[in-house]
Amino acid sequence: MTRCFVVGNGPSLAITSLERLIGETSFGVNNLHLLYPATTFRPTHYVRSEEASNLEPEHWRESVQVHLGLDCEIWCNDYFFRPRFGLKATEKVHYLKACTHYARHFDNPDCPHLWHLPLLCTFGSSVNVAVQLAVQEGFGPIYLVGCDLGYRDEAVSHFSDIYAHGREQPARYANLDTLAAHMIAARSAPVRIFNATLGGTLEAYERVEFNALFE
């Protein structure tokens, strides 16, 4: 099996040498393109899985268009393929067949406790979906980068202070939903998952030192 990296959008990306990932299999998510002016790294796969009500068209349109111009595989939910937006499925652009668990919080009685592949589980975040795709594509082990947790109310919680995203939710839910999704991944994944993030508060996986992976 081939190892791969799943790159989140946490603040630590601003201090991570992403150029080390050039030549590696990698999954980027959401607004990662905002970091491209500062790095030559580009992911080999791109995932955008938020629900329709959590998206602002001008923001996701930019992120998807950027990746359409790159040599990478793209996964998006059905919202992106509606006629008014014009995204079409191709060998490189895939419709994301997934559940509706994006509408659940960690404290809902019907919150998932395990993955339910082959139908992807959208609970938690696009990172969670990217990890499942990596497993389905046959990669492993999986290393997480830029998965910091530490969301804060009315404060910068990503690698850029111009990071635009959809519907806001309290930091408590953002942190605990994301943590719950990682705990589900740790229980469900048939391959090892490691956290190579520089700092942060995610402790659902064994930690490894990012730079040591390339020595």
Residues 174, 35: contact at Cβ < 8 Å? no
Q: How confident is the model at residue 1 (pLDDT cuts 50, 70, 90)?
A: confident
**Is a pLDDT exceeding 90 seen at residue 15?**
yes
User: What gap in Å lies between CA 130 and CA 25, rounded to an integer?
Assistant: 12
Give the model's pLDDT for residue 206.
Answer: 98
Give the model's pLDDT for residue 159.
Answer: 66
- The domain total for the chain is 1
User: What gap in Å lies between CA 29 and CA 90, rounded to an integer?
Assistant: 19
- Retrieve residue 87's tokens: 């995204």
**Is a pLDDT exceeding 90 seen at residue 151?**
no
- Retrieve residue 189's tokens: 């994944």
Tokens 């605990």 belong to residue: 176
**What is the enclosing helix (H) or strand (E) of 127?**
helix 126-136
Q: How confident is the model at residue 172 (pLDDT cuts 50, 70, 90)?
A: confident
Q: Does the model's pTM come out above 0.85? A: yes
What is the number of residues in the chain? 215
Q: Using CB atoms within 10 Å of the CB of residue 52, give its burial: 0 to 12 exposed, 13 to 18 middle, 19+ buried.
A: middle
User: What gap in Å lies between CA 194 and CA 101, rounded to an integer?
Assistant: 24
- Name the residue range of residue 129's domain: 4-214
Give the model's pLDDT for residue 103.
Answer: 83
User: What gap in Å lies between CA 212 and CA 30, rounded to an integer?
Assistant: 27
**Is a pLDDT exceeding 80 seen at residue 169?**
no
Q: Domain containing 79 — which CATH number?
A: 3.90.1480
- Retrieve residue 90's tokens: 């191709």
User: What gap in Å lies between CA 180 and CA 101, rounded to an integer?
Assistant: 12
Give the model's pLDDT for residue 178.
Answer: 92
Residues 16, 198: contact at Cβ < 8 Å? yes
Residue with the bigger pLDDT between 75 and 64: it is 75
pLDDT digits (tens, 9 = 90+) for 192-205: 999 999 999 999 99
